[in-house]
Amino acid sequence: MKTTPTRALAAYAAAAIDAAKPRTTAVDHPPEADFAALLRNEFANAVSALRRAEATAVAGLLGKASLHEVVEAVSAAELSLQRVTAIRDRVIAAYQEILRMPI
């Protein structure tokens, strides 16, 4: 089969169209999501949950928020902190495992 510029352009166009199709995976993440972005989002969510819990606790002390709202906010912050701590522990364990690998 002889390769011509026309065939090469057609193959390139077909590959570009195939690459533009959305891929379905077991976990449906956008294609631009990478590990660093995932960590950034988790840490940002945890910080915002902690700030929201602090603000709600202060509002509860001032009588502007109910006890139920305070408990919900503090529980959400606690879960976020546990999630971030678990991620940190897994990253440290992976790093230690890499350090133990023979060169």
- Concatenating the DSSP letter of every residue in the chain gives ----HHHHHHHHHHHHHHHHSPP--SS---TT--HHHHHHHHHHHHHHHHHHHHHHHHHHHTTSS-HHHHHHHHHHHHHHHHHHHHHHHHHHHHHHHHHHS--
Confidence (pLDDT) at 50: 93
Q: Where do the domains of the chain lie? A: 30-100
Write the pLDDT tens digit of every residue in 31-86: 556 888 888 888 999 999 999 999 999 999 999 999 999 999 999 999 999 999 99
